[in-house]
């Protein structure tokens, strides 16, 4: 199942820089691992914001929730999820 996930990160203004840096480092490592596994298929930054638009390829809504909710920055995110399905006019064979 494919899902478009929009994540808008809102770290507290009073969060210590070292704590924020540690969270971001761990987040990056997890995100890159999920990309390598094929679960996090696409990751795009939203220009001008601390936000991204991503495409996840998972087996279920529950799996998506589990992956997203274990991200270190999850408590500081506003998230919107949209289920996707293959468009019949798509010319890409690897769309799922």
Residue 94, in any domain of the structure: no
Alpha carbon separation from 4 to 26, 31, 53, 56 (Å, rounded): 22, 15, 7, 7
What CATH number is associated with residue 53?
3.30.70.1060
Q: What is the CA 71 to chain-centroid distance, rounded? A: 9
Its pTM surpasses 0.85: yes
Residue 52, in any domain of the structure: yes
Residue 24, in any domain of the structure: yes
Residue 50: domain span: 2-84
Query: Over 80: is that where the pLDDT of 92 sits?
Result: yes
If one counts the domains in the chain, the total is 1
pLDDT in tens, 21-55: 999 999 999 999 999 999 999 999 999 999 999 99
Residue 96, in any domain of the structure: no
Residue 20, in any domain of the structure: yes
pLDDT in tens, 9-24: 999 999 999 999 999 9
Residue 25, in any domain of the structure: yes
């Amino acid at each position: 199942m494919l899902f478009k996930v929009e994540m808008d990160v809102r770290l507290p203004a009073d969060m210590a820089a070292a704590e924020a840096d540690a969270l971001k480092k761990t987040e990056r490592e997890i995100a890159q691992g999920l990309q390598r596994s094929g679960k996090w298929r696409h990751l795009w930054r939203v220009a001008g914001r601390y936000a991204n638009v991503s495409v996840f390829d998972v087996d279920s809504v529950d799996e998506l929730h589990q992956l997203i909710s274990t991200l270190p920055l999850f408590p500081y995110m506003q998230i919107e999820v949209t289920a996707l399905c293959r468009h019949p006019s798509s010319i890409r064979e690897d769309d799922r």
